[in-house]
Structure 1
Amino acid sequence: MTESQNAAQDVKGEDRRGLRADALRNEDAVLEAAKAAFAEQGVDVPVRDIAARAGVGIGTLYRRFPKRSDLVAAVFRQQVDACAKEAAALAAIHAPVEALILWLRRYLQFLAAKKGLTSALHSGDPAYDSLPDYFRGNFEPALSMLMQRAVAAGDIREGIDPYDLLRVVGGLSAAAHGEEDFLERMFALVIDGLRYRA
């Protein structure tokens, strides 16, 4: 699939090419408003508040996202997409190990933002069933590319599974409970471990 075709796919994996420009703008505004509202107030924030924040009518929101779970899943996918795309952008302008470290920090930011969605994502709603595969299918290739560059440069050791590293960093984020000093110390240990015997 080409880059322009990718751009025509919405965050739910559906084709956006049939939508008018104003409909696309409205959808993007709703997703941005929902992301901010979820982070501030949790996923139970009134949908009317999200629509008002986005500057759209409630009917506009419901036409694209008939259920709250549709909106939550779309916000999650949007955040995954944005984080995964940064891997290539960082690789283009930074040395291999710097790009890797910067992206892992970006991944930590993604995890912190996702905390507002955690309870919903584990609610058992079938709208969320595909999200773990979406998460892994986007993040694993992005991280793998960065790790391969760093291995080739002699910056990190070989033989580390990208998914294992995603899980380790995710575990650190969960264990930190907002303690930034602890998270920084543990993150530094992970980076040292990647460099060990490089």
Structure 2
Amino acid sequence: MSIPRYTPALVRLHWLMAALVFATFAQGVLVSQLPVSPAMFRLVSWHKWGGVLLFGLVFLRILVRLRHGAPPLPAGTGRGARLAAHAVHLVLYLCFLAVPLAGYFASLAKGFPVVLFGVFPLPVLIGADPALAERLAAVHAVLAYAFGALVLLHVAAACKHQWLDRDGLISRMAFAPAPSSPKGQS
């Protein structure tokens, strides 16, 4: 029996965005540990670029998801687990929007415009304001760590389904169809 899967476009977007989230989060943590230097500013730029890309990609992902939907959850998934899965996915999508926006406005409030790839300047919507910059940077950090915690919860749930429930859930988001079917079905 084959397992219903996400479309190839959603699979690619999922894994591209997962890699970008990991890299951008790691850059954010690392940059906070570095002294002011050219290397630190370069890393800050990469961090901003990752955030801008994630912000843009989430809109593409939402459009593809709305057009193609999602495969059904495994048959044995209870009502509470279904609600939790949908809630976590919704909040993950909100984080893809809120974390980059908070970082963008924090950067502007610090007086640093965002220039994608050093070539494409994003609009400067607010002026420099050190007090606001401090608050926005704190909001950005709190949201980023909450986002990270949700990502870990998402990964833990996928691992639980794969190795404890053995229901083939991970194969829905795999690059190629799984060669075997869920437990009890051969």
Structure with a larger share of its residues in helix: 1
- Whether TM-score is above 0.5 comes out as no
Q: Which has the larger radius of gyration?
A: 2
Question: TM-score band (shorter)?
Answer: 0.3 to 0.5
TM-score normalised by the chain length of structure 1? 0.33
Q: Tell me which of the two structures has the higher relative contact order, counting C-alpha pairs closer than 8 angstroms and 6 or more residues apart.
A: 2
